[in-house]
Amino acid sequence: MVLTRWRISPRHVSTVIEEKPEFPRSNYAVIGVYMYDHRVFKIIDTLSPSARGEYEITDVSNHYLREGRASYEVLDGWWTDAGTFESLYRANSLIRESQLRQQEVHK
């Protein structure tokens, strides 16, 4: 999963999404839940590949931000990558631990 960071302005409005920054400007991350309108494919057609030779979803999101047509939610809790077998195992373990704690609370 691609890790991108939100830089939040003092008014709690996202101003830019940065793709894999070396020095993140905030502790917010885009966790990969994207919902776009019907214009997304026209927007993609205007993009150029990144330095990595790939089209970046970050560029699509930044397009919507520049238009003032993007929104987001800040979620409480934890996040972990699940892109490898080891990280998937860790994610499953975290979820299981969370479920067990919830069961204990509801006893």
Calculate what percentage of the chain has a pLDDT beyond 90: 30
Confidence (pLDDT) at 43:
97
pLDDT band at 42 (very low <50, low <70, confident <90, very high): very high
Residue 67 has pLDDT above 70, yes or no: yes
User: Long-range contacts of range 13-21, CB-CB < 8 Å, 24 or more positions apart?
Assistant: 14/65, 14/70, 14/72, 15/65, 16/62, 16/65, 17/58, 17/61, 17/62, 17/65, 18/58, 19/50, 19/56, 19/58
Token pair belonging to 62: 């930044």
3-class DSSP assignment, residue 1 = coil
pLDDT band at 5 (very low <50, low <70, confident <90, very high): very low
